């Protein structure tokens, strides 16, 4: 939900019971290595969850970083806009290569194509990593390229595959 506008979150509804909202700092904040997340839930559910999980220590630096990240609303809003623009750019490359996009978020896109195994291999040879799905060999998941050089490499690889495939 970090990539969605604030009104889309169910966080405000946790007091109604039978609802737990889980949050992490991995993808959106670029803090995967910090291993930090939290749960929003009503007090009775929190007591039950704590009894099941036991003590769960979180380091002081991780708490400080997480607190600062959540408080930086200007950065969060700017990142939402950048991700929407980047995912639109990714859509253009994927659609331009003749791929269908049945799903995704502002952080990634899921494509469906019978050529997924060949495309996975082609992209890997170009140094582009995408996620394949062993249970559905027609799917690939594309993350957003990190910078302009990676965008160009993806565009070139997708054009070559589309024109030769």
Contact by Cβ (8 Å): 140, 119: yes
Six token digits for residue 22? 């889980």
pTM of the model: 0.81
Per CATH, the number for 77-164 is 3.90.1150.10
Rounded distance, CA 6 to CA 25, Å? 16
Rounded distance, CA 71 to CA 9, Å? 17
Report pLDDT digits (tens) over 91-102: 999 999 999 999
Query: Given strand 100-104, what is the order of strands in its sheet?
Result: 100-104, 108-112, 139-143, 131-132
| Per-residue pLDDT, 160 | 94
Domain boundaries, the chain: 6-71, 77-164
| Per-residue pLDDT, 165 | 60
Cβ atoms within 10 Å of 94's Cβ, excluding its own? 22
């Amino acid at each position: 939900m970090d990539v969605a506008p604030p009104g889309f979150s169910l966080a405000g509804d946790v007091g109604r019971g039978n609802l737990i909202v889980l949050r992490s700092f991995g993808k959106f904040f670029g803090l995967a290595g910090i291993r930090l997340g939290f749960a929003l839930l009503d007090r009775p559910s929190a007591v039950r969850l704590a009894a099941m999980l036991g003590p769960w220590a979180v380091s002081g630096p991780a708490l400080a970083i997480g607190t600062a990240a959540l408080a930086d609303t200007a950065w969060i809003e700017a990142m939402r806009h950048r991700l929407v623009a980047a995912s639109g750019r990714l859509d253009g490359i994927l659609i331009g290569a003749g791929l269908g996009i049945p799903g995704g978020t502002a952080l990634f896109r899921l494509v469906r194509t019978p050529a997924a195994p060949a495309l996975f291999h082609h992209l890997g040879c170009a140094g582009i990593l995408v996620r394949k799905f062993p249970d559905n060999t027609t799917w690939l998941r594309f993350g957003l390229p990190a910078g302009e050089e990676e965008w160009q490499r993806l565009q070139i690889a997708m054009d070559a595959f589309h024109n030769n495939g």
